[in-house]
Chains A and B, each alone.
Chain A
Amino acid sequence: MPDNGRILVLGYGNPGRRDDGLGPALAAALEELFLPGVTVESDYQLTVEDAADVAGHDVVVFADADAVGAEPFSFRRIEAGNGSTFSTHSVSPEGVLGLARDLFGARTEGYLLGVRGYEFNEFGESLSPAARENLARAVEFLAGTLRAHSFREVAAQFRAPAPLAATSQGEL
């Protein structure tokens, strides 16, 4: 296990909205791996108090569903920002990092793992088959990164792996 410091993985989204639940599903899958030095949290969305938790860690990985991004997932370094969005009931990952920096003096390294989803516009607790495949790839990737690599190197060299055909029907 490399020394990545204190790591927080924060998966967010609504499990009742089909693929919007990819973030919490990733958090649940990762939690079962009991990786040392890794704290896993999940919530419906990012909010301001997450800044306090983020400030208590050296690295944070935000995991969210991605409606338009690369398949099966994307992974990139993000910087603290103003996070200006349509709403501050929820805050962007950059905004959370910005609050952690501005309010708590934290220099937490931030990464965003966007798992590609497809079905968002209906109620339902199951992920679409293609999203499940993407999730499995993302979990494999993140667990491997946590075990063997530094985030900074991986993010700098990241190329999205080729997506698999959506064949799995199993529930995660």
Chain B
Amino acid sequence: MVASTIGLKRVVIEPVTRVEGHGKVTILLDEKRQVRQTRLHIVEFRGFERFIQGRPFWEVPVLVQRLCGICPVSHHLAAAKAMDRIVGGEKLTPTAEKMRRLMHYGQFFQSHALHFFHLVSPDLLFGFDADPAIRNVIGVALKYPELAVQGVMMRKYGQEVIKRTAGKKIHGTGAIPGGINKNLSIQERDELLKDLEQMVIWSRAALKLCKDYTVEHLEKLAPFGSFDSNHLSIIRQDGALDIYNGGLRAITADGKKIFDHVDNQKYLEYIAEEVRPWSYMKFPFIKPLGPETGWYRVGPLARINTADFIDTPEAEAARKEFMALTKGKPNNISMAYHWARLIELLHAIEKIKELLHDKDLQGTDLVVKGSRRDEAVGILEAPRGTLFHHYKVDKNDQVVMANLIVSTTNNNEPMNRAIQKVAQDDLSGHELTEGLLNHIEVAIRAYDPCLSCATHALGQMPLVVEVVDVDGNIVDRKVRGVCE
């Protein structure tokens, strides 16, 4: 962090390509073109909490899906978990919990597949510095059509799982306070079983592709945007990776536990958020450590690092191989997010398989209720990381307070660190080529941030790159594409 910006040159990348919504990167260079400061600005839509206030609590699991077109299921389920507690129905029936888990694994599967095949693979297959005109999903489709088809069909399969469990894409209503509104019919189950084995095969292949690439290019990837950090996720009682339910666990960069199995309802005793004047997005940190050292990473890398084991055989074998790279210690390589993400992809399809063969999905006991509460927290692991939903409800059943900490916000500081590391390593003293600018984007993309709070209507969001000199003049400007 520099105290003064006088005499520095500003480089602006806006918005970040292949990251949803608006994002802007500012790189402050000094007169010798050395990187002095970097900042990721995310234009976050505010006011969603106010949008929810005054609405009946049972509407919230549907309403919160409006927050994000990329991961509506994650918000749907996090809100539903909170509302379970509001109605005293947090101990779900087996059918309800398994239906929700199936929905959630479907979401993970489609999200991770989309990210790898259509966001990351262009960088890996064509190289970070390749021409953006070919380094995109269409480029993959033309040169590696089989891979591109796999990505589309895996994404489609995950969406089918969601459709069978949550209902329509845009009005998903599967989870309701205290349970679920439908089970999975035999016909629906059989439909999903048809393509299951193909999905397992493709998941294995994708994991191998990513693992082999990472190992082969480790010398280049290991330092790329990397830094030591704490890691945070929820964790099952026995230490297994669990994306739906569990207490909070945080570990240091070398694996020491900061806290473990923290009751979700007490998250505010352990997590706080710092406001910085230059950013719309807050900076969460582990309270006992403070903002300077208490920031942490979430998402696939953090989850693989915090888990003691994975409860599906192929993903567990892959986890062991992954952890062996760092001799059992947490992996702090930013680019290892992709490998970790694909371990989770395989885990998700293994869990989908396990669930589809579970007769509880055809059960008819769908909803439970108990003693009414007026405050509740729902936490789960979204594909991009830990997601917090916190609500207060008055005696008229209206929401009077809502606080959300989304996955991308949890990774705010790490993304800024990753940009700074790449900028310092790759940009100092160099000309600002497309390839070098893309290095910044590659680092951000590792975290798979979701900035879809922005609308996407026609005519918005060109990619603009601007170089601004010490006097504030734009000395270079690039437009990489306009959404029409």
Contacts from A to B (Cβ < 8 Å) = 13-17, 19-20, 24, 41-45, 47-49, 51-52, 64-69, 82-92, 95, 98-99, 102-104, 114, 117, 120-125
Contacts and interface: CB of A to CB of B under 8 A. Distances in A.
A86 B170 contact: no
A16 B67 contact: yes
B152 A68 contact: no
Nearest to A123: B51
A64 B145 CA distance: 28
28 contacts: A13-B456, A14-B456, A17-B66, A41-B169, A42-B168, A44-B72, A44-B452, A45-B69, A48-B118, A49-B159, A64-B457, A66-B459, A82-B139, A85-B481, A86-B18, A86-B463, A88-B18, A89-B20, A89-B119, A89-B450, A95-B137, A95-B138, A99-B141, A102-B141, A102-B148, A103-B145, A122-B47, A123-B51
B69 A14 contact: yes
A134 B16 CA distance: 32
* Interface secondary structure of A, over-half rule: loop
A68 B461 CA distance: 12
B121 to A, nearest CB: 10
Contacts of A13: 455-457
B126 interface: no
B136 A48 contact: no
A49 B106 CA distance: 14
B156 interface: yes
Q: What 10 pairs across the A-B complex have the smallest Cβ distances?
A: A16-B66, A44-B69, A123-B51, A68-B459, A49-B156, A82-B138, A89-B20, A67-B457, A20-B455, A65-B457
Interface band, chain B:
35 or more
A91 B137 contact: yes
B70 A52 contact: no
Contact of B152 (A41, A83, A103): A103
Contact of B18 (A48, A69, A82, A87): A87
A95 B463 CA distance: 17
Interface of B: 15-21, 45, 47-48, 50-51, 63, 65-67, 69-70, 72, 110, 114, 117-119, 132-133, 136-139, 141-142, 145, 148-149, 151-153, 155-156, 159, 168-170, 450, 452, 455-463, 480-481, 483-484
B481 to A, nearest CB: 5
Contacts of A104: 149
Given A16-B63, A16-B67, A123-B47, A92 B457 contact: no
Nearest to B68: A44
B218 to A, nearest CB: 26
